[in-house]
A = this chain, B = another copy of it.
């Protein structure tokens, strides 16, 4: 038969089972009680044999819901990969499909800003396919802020990770509990007797609000605990001078005995600079990172760091979208969820040298 190489249609199933189109439709949708058992079996069998599958494009048109969520998060490092894993798990369980897109090449994190136009095309690709919701990473959330009006009008719920809009909160936000985490780091270092403490921040670009908060919370926490003021540094606008800044920090006099890096990426610069200057970690210098990225435990010495909970962050973001879609919190105002983090003490921190 000519239809054997074609995608099977519902009418093929109906014909094969010898029932009407509408009967086949109802039975396959689960409306069984109106039909005899034998008929149901016949239809189900026919569908199975022909390899028929429901067409979600059609359902999407008819119901206005595609059971699809757009995700703009690059798998940039293990933190974001784990966030993605959390999102994928929750959505898969709810029979939703995440559609992940990003712009740039994942290698150079700092430069997503350049590609604003390409990023807008990506958003368009998602909206043209009528995604039900959207999850964004901070850089995109800032870059495409102007398009949020359209999203709100279309009632597409948006969740942003690690970025809370300060002026008008127009989207849900899921972030790490910076205040508590910074305090945990401060307590750890102060309890080890450190008095000269520095902080190495990232670029603190507009979309890195988390970095600003993390640094400020840390400075505050050290002060609250009675420590001497923290001296802070940050990378240049392109994020290219990490090694130089690390050298600068370690060349101060008096030299800091402990440095808190706002992510494990920055901690790497400190390791490199310390090696070049012959400074021994942790005997002469304690280093604390943030995130517990995949390489943190493999560094020598193994890095003490705040372990974020990226899975949980991803799961919560996805769940928030689902809740907004399933009517639960359809029209409630945007919320902010703060997820805790845990201090993992490894070998890069020790008692302050006398």
Contacts and interface: CB of A to CB of B under 8 A. Distances in A.
A263 to B, nearest CB: 15
A155 B51 CA distance: 13
Given A61-B57, A105-B85, A128-B53, A122 B298 contact: no
A311 B107 CA distance: 11
Copies in the complex: 2
Contact of A129 (B4, B57, B82, B103): B57
Interface stretch (A88-96, A200-208, A238-246, A247-255): A88-96
Contacts of A81: 75, 81, 106
Contact-residue bracket for chain A: 35 or more
A319 to B, nearest CB: 17
Contact of A53 (B85, B99, B124): B124
Interface string A194-229: 000000000000000000000000000000000000
Interface string A112-129: 000000100110111111
A56 B92 CA distance: 23
Given A57-B130, A61-B57, A125 B97 contact: yes
A279 B64 CA distance: 64
A118 to B, nearest CB: 7
B5 A155 contact: yes
A68 interface: yes
A298 B294 CA distance: 13
Given A61-B57, A128-B56, A129-B56, A150 B51 contact: yes
